[in-house]
Amino acid sequence: MDKILIVNASELVTCSGFEAKCGKEAMNDLGIIQNGAIAMADGIITHVGTTEEVLSQINEDEYAIIDAENKAVLPGFVDSHTHFVFGGYREDEYDWRLRGLSYVEIMERGGGIINSVRGTEEASLEELVELGLKRLDSILSFGVTTVEGKSGYGLYKETELKQLEALQLCDEQHVVDVVKTFLGAHSVPKEYKGRSGEFIDYLIEEVLPIVAEENLAEFCDIFCEDKVFSVEESRKLLTEAKKMGLKLKLHADEIVPLGGAGLAAELHATSADHLLVASDEDILKMAEAKVVATCLPCTAFSLKEPYARARFMVDSGCAVAVASDFNPGSCHTESIPLAIALSTLYMGLTTEETITALTINGAAALDRADTIGSLDVGKKADIVIHEFPSYKFLPYHIGVSTVEVVIKNGEVAFVK
């Protein structure tokens, strides 16, 4: 049936809203309805309320009914920062890190982003799509209904465009919605060593126009970091991308407090991500400019680095999102349960703030808070039924998925 009705939810966690939630009070408000019900038709939410209220407004004989007694029902998670389309793996590098090798030493052994560039260049479009679809199956199983995917393992035009095409095909062939981001400025190719500014010019002149004209990406991102791309180079690329109609993101202040977060505020980027060493001043600028601060705790965990100061960000009035940063090098995991555990245990977020960060604020980090990220009438019917009666089990069941059923666009897409 094209109509589904969920009834008797012990907690209907609506995360209600149509824009990012900024600051402590808003991010802790989950809009919970006890003994809740939600009706959907043609992929859109039509009724939200208590079971008694919703049943009084509809003809339940028209619906396929799911009884969610003793279960919590939440919006589908939005993973707003990943690199899930790539070729090759870097398991040796992980082992080298465990043995104490530094990032520079790993690079000298042929590791790092360039290793993934090599693997992605060698993979065919068909292989990238096959790998991407398999990874999306896993992503879906964790309750993610919308995911962002970046290029950035091509650097040069041909492979960058191949990655973006693979992301588009994954979006067309899989139930999970894929939001495409152009990250050609992910690293400086060896041929441009010492000439990063010239590589930015190459991207602006040779690659960005194709990406924009052929609508291959919605966002443009850049790795604004010491020994990668400067604030000035980042400003130049992102300004040109904005002129061409792309929205903006930044990998900012991950290793050195270079000022990428401040640049994100200056350019009114949709989000700035990582932010492990972002300054107080720049975080306050992001809050004022309403730039979503996307924290990636699994990356800090994997690299054994200090976590982003998510608690300070929330208390400073920022809208904080949490994402997996699934990639083949620094963070080879798509585990939302791990991200939840780390956010609550080590980034100082409450359970409520963490759920907000993975739902409505994750949607805002992709400029989609008006259509996804909460259980509101008129939004996409992206809904997850969890096996326990309260959302508080999500961090409590440490590192283990509580997802039982995923509904995407009003249809059952995953059953545990």
CA dihedral (211, 366, 373, 357) in degrees, to 10, reads 140
State the pLDDT at residue 1.
Answer: 63
Of the candidates 145, 152, 142, the residue with the CA atom closest to the CA atom of residue 188? 152
What pLDDT was estimated at residue 102?
81
Q: Which residue has the tokens 């400067």?
A: 230
Structure tokens at 205: 């002149």
Which of 412, 413, 391 shows the shortest CA–CA distance to 402?
391
Q: What is the dihedral of CA 34, 79, 354, 333, to 10 degrees?
A: 120
> pTM for this structure?
0.97
Residues in the chain where the model's pLDDT stays below 50: none
* Amino acid at the residue 11: E
pLDDT digits over 369-390, tens only? 999 999 999 999 999 999 999 9
Host H or E run for residue 149: strand 144-150
The whole-number pLDDT of residue 110 equals 82
* Residue 248 CB partners (closer than 8 Å, separation 6+): 219, 220, 221, 238, 241, 242, 264, 267, 268, 269, 270
Q: How far is CA 40 from CA 16, 143, 268, in A?
A: 16, 18, 35
Crossing angle of helices 125-141 and 157-173, in 10° steps, is: 50
Read off the pLDDT of residues 205-237 as tens digits, 9 standing for 90 and up: 999 999 999 999 999 999 999 999 999 999 999
Residue 360 near residue 400, CB atoms below 8 Å: no
For each of the domains in the chain, give its residue range(s) and CATH number, in order of start. Answer: 3-75+373-415 (2.30.40.10), 78-364 (3.20.20.140)
Residue 216 contacts residue 256 (beta carbons within 8 Å): no
